[in-house]
Structure 1
Amino acid sequence: MKIAILGSGNVAYHLAKMFKEKNIPISQIFGRNEKDLQEISEQFEIPFSTTELADAELYFIAVNDDAVAAISKNIKNQNSLVAHTSGSLPKEILEGNYRKASFYPLQTFSKSKMLQYSEIPFFVEAENEADSQILENLALKISEKVMKSDYEKRKYIHLTAVFACNFVNHLFARAKEISDSQHIPFDYFLPLIKETTLKIEKIEPKLAQTGPAIRNDEKILQLHEALITEEEHLKIYQVMNESIKKMYEL
């Protein structure tokens, strides 16, 4: 099966890498950013183009959500299967007469970060069972964690991922702002962060909660609020503590 990837960002890079590692040939990688395309092409020995999309049987669209519909118009082969990799878009966003699908890897991707692909869950959806099986079989070459998921379910998968990943990372960034303001190396907090994430592999997150809010320690909460000089930090601190209290009805 001839496979092409549309895109040159983080997801496209890792799709190319995981396929290369599993000896799944890619016919072409296509996009607008010639520099990024050339980097992927040279690293994984994949032909690339910024002007002419090659004919393929299976296309993966790995671009920003707001560009999926536009770039999908480049695909003219009506006999092809086209899958986007978005967690928040329906397969119907794809604009063409080809067979439509989604192929969603549940992970945060950065080109500079190596990943254990076998641990990444994949969620697939297609218009018919045969196409769904094609995508499942392909995903199973990479990971054992593969399941079918329609758009309604996938929306909640993506929403959960935003809470569990994007919001948590933003809190890391805000925490670093505080530590930097006091000239405390943020590296000193990494063991705490690692232990927090490791703990929820064994304990339900709700049962793993610690800190002054769950202890209802008003003196410490007030002390912290008095220390915070950045308005945005104070809003986050208060909202998070109120949410903790409500969860445990404190």
Structure 2
Amino acid sequence: MISVILLGAGNVATHLYKAFSNADNVSVKQWYNRRRSSISSFANDVEITDSLNELKEADLYIMAVSDDSIAEFSSALPFTNRLVVHTSGSVAMHDIDKKNQIGVFYPLQSFTKGAEINFSEVPICVEVYEKENLELLRDLARAVGCKPHKITTEQRQTLHLAAVFVNNFTNQLYRIGHEICETKNIEFEILHPLIEETAKKVQQMSPFMAQTGPAKRNDKRTIKRQLKLIEKDEHEAIYKMLTSSIKKTHNVLSRSMKQVKR
């Protein structure tokens, strides 16, 4: 049985708690947050505390706190030589105070309050300073049905950057699409099958091969018509930037120039 103490009460901590609670060989021994009220609804299921001095001994302490708080929070922990990890995709492992053994347990997924997560489909990126702690983090990942991936800080930070593009930026494009639909009283749900098909397609082929649309085809008439339909300058700038990026990726511009020269 792996004993865990959760530190923090945000979306990641809440989803981890639910996953650990459903695992046969993981015990959430304690849950800390500086505002007890944030985790009071779990008081009947797990011991909660708002005092660092009340923290018990466990196999692992997971800091699911904001990136900017990791260094200061780890320094405030009132014990030494215990395994303390953070869950951030972008913060260096060595930002954790060296008075304890350090590591990273990074679930590569988007966590939203109220949205259910199937942890068996979540990759867990693990990193340790002391090699003897690697198997514990791997075992914890496997206990909740995840596949652990041993990576370096640089790889993890690069993955996080890629995740911002494929998740956060993509979601903002969904938001723009939703806004454009609203201007003409069109139900955004009509686009759901297209969104789902695109997501499926990039799991079967590379994004390069999956690309379609007027920019890849260099369909100048369609691009011109669509630019006239756009009502916001911000949306027009994004459309032009992404159109240019797609053209460059698929060498449309260079091919067009060659045809003109001929």
TM-score, structure 1 as length reference: 0.94
Q: Is 1:170 equivalent to 2:172 in the alignment?
A: yes
- 1:87-236 alignment runs, 5 A limit: 87-236=89-238
State the shift of 1:153 in Å. Answer: 1.0
Instruction: Spell out, residue by residue over 1:139-198, the C-alpha distance to the aligned partner (whole angstroms, 9 max, x if none).
Output: 111234211111011111111111111111111111111111111111111111111111
CA distance, structure 1, for counterparts of residue 235 and residue 34 of structure 2:
39
How many residues matched? 248
Give per-residue Cα distances to partners, 1:45-79, cap 9 Å, x unaligned: 11111234412331100011112122222322212
Structure 1 counterpart of 2:12: 11
Of all paired residues, the percent bearing the same amino acid is 35
Given candidates 242, 245, 248, the residue that maps to 2:247 is 245
Quick one: distance in 2 between partners of 1:180 and 1:161? 28
Contact in 2 for aligned 1:65/1:86 (Cα 8 Å)? yes
State the 1:199 CA deviation: 1.4
Residue of structure 2 aligned with 1:25, choices 24, 27, 52: 27
Distance 1:212 1:20 in 2: 49
Shift of 1:96: 4.7
Taking the aligned partners of 2:183 and 2:32, their CA distance within structure 1 comes to 44
Alpha-carbon distance in structure 2 between the residues aligned to 1:119 and 1:207: 24
TM-score when normalising by structure 2 = 0.90
Give 1:2 deviation, angstroms. Answer: 3.5
Could you say what the CA RMSD is over the residues aligned between the two structures, in angstroms? 1.4
- The runs of 5 or more residues in structure 2 that have no matched partner are 253-262
Runs of 4+ in 1 over 6 A off after TM superposition: none
Contact 1:4–1:59 (CA under 8 A) maintained in structure 2: yes
C-alpha offsets along residues 206-231 of structure 1, whole Å, 9 cap, x if unaligned?
A: 11111110110001101111111201
